[in-house]
Structure 1
Amino acid sequence: MQFLNGITLLLVYQLVGEVAVRLAGVPIPGPVLGMVMLFLTLWGRGGMAESVTQASTALLSHLSLLFVPAGVGMMVHFGRIADEWVPITLALLLSTVITMVATALIMQLTTRWLIGAGAGQGGRADD
């Protein structure tokens, strides 16, 4: 019964997020808003209920099954993917490189900022 209560709670948050997005017209996915609301609720409570822990653990243990629809979609649209492989490949490569560069820059800036903040508290900045 714990699993059923937990999965119901997770689905209710997803539904509330979807309804809120549709009513407000905000340009984010409903499940993302639902997840943010769930996070804020759990943060406010100071932890997770046992039912949510059990449901989320069960869902995570079967996470690989969630990739089946994506694989089926690729097989269904294989002809279109084959026709447009150059732009798809370029988009994947460029987005990967841009993400890696942005992550590296953010990491460097954050590290310098943290070291600088530590130096102001009597520590040494080895920059």
Structure 2
Amino acid sequence: MPLLRGFLVLVLFFILGESVRLLLALPVSGGVLGMVLITFTLMVKGSVSDALATASQGLISVLVLLIMPGVVGVFFTASQFSGQWLAVAAALLLGTLLSVLTTLLLMKWVTARGVSERE
């Protein structure tokens, strides 16, 4: 039962994200908005329920299958990017660099905050 409850929470936040996207006409995926909303909710709450943790762990184990449709879509539309290899390469490099830098700064902030709370 906790697994179903956790999936229900995830689906509800996905639907909430889609609703926000449609109401505000945002050019962002409803899934991304749902993840942002659930992140803020969990930050305010301060903890993750066992049901949500159980459902999330189940999804993490099949993460490759969740990413696969996007990879296949890019594979079949690769001909559209044939003349844009420099822009695609620059976007991939810059995106990777920004992701790593953001993760580094966030991890540094979180560990510093954790050390100061323990003292």
TM-score by length of 2: 0.69
Percent same amino acid at aligned positions?
28
CA offsets 1:62-105 (integer angstroms, 9 cap, x no match): 11112332343345x2xx52464231x2222121344467679x
In 2, Cα distance between equivalents of 1:43 and 1:74: 34
> Of 83, 88, 92, which residue of structure 1 is paired with 2:88?
92
In 2, Cα distance between equivalents of 1:26 and 1:37: 15
Aligned pairs (5 A) from 1:43-122: 43-74=43-74, 77=76, 81-82=78-79, 84-87=81-84, 89-99=85-95
Match of 2:60, SS state, is helix
- The structure number with the bigger radius of gyration is 1
With over 3 angstroms needed to count, the CA separation of the structure-2 counterparts of 1:97 and 1:35, relative to structure 1, is: closer
| Higher RCO (Cα < 8 Å, 6 or more apart) | 2
With over 3 angstroms needed to count, the CA separation of the structure-2 counterparts of 1:58 and 1:44, relative to structure 1, is: same
Offset at residue 23 of structure 1 (A): 1.1
- Equivalent residue for 1:21? 21
Q: Specify every segment of 5 or more residues in structure 2 that has no aligned partner in the other structure, as ranges.
A: 106-119
Q: Specify every segment of 5 or more residues in structure 1 that has no aligned partner in the other structure, as ranges.
A: 111-127
In 1, Cα distance between equivalents of 2:80 and 2:89: 18
Aligned residues: 103
In 2, Cα distance between equivalents of 1:3 and 1:20: 26
In 1, Cα distance between equivalents of 2:42 and 2:64: 26
In 1, Cα distance between equivalents of 2:23 and 2:90: 35
Offset at residue 46 of structure 1 (A): 1.1
Match of 1:28, SS state, is coil
Offset at residue 25 of structure 1 (A): 1.9
- Equivalent residue for 1:36? 36
CA offsets 1:11-47 (integer angstroms, 9 cap, x no match): 1001011111111223322222211211121111110
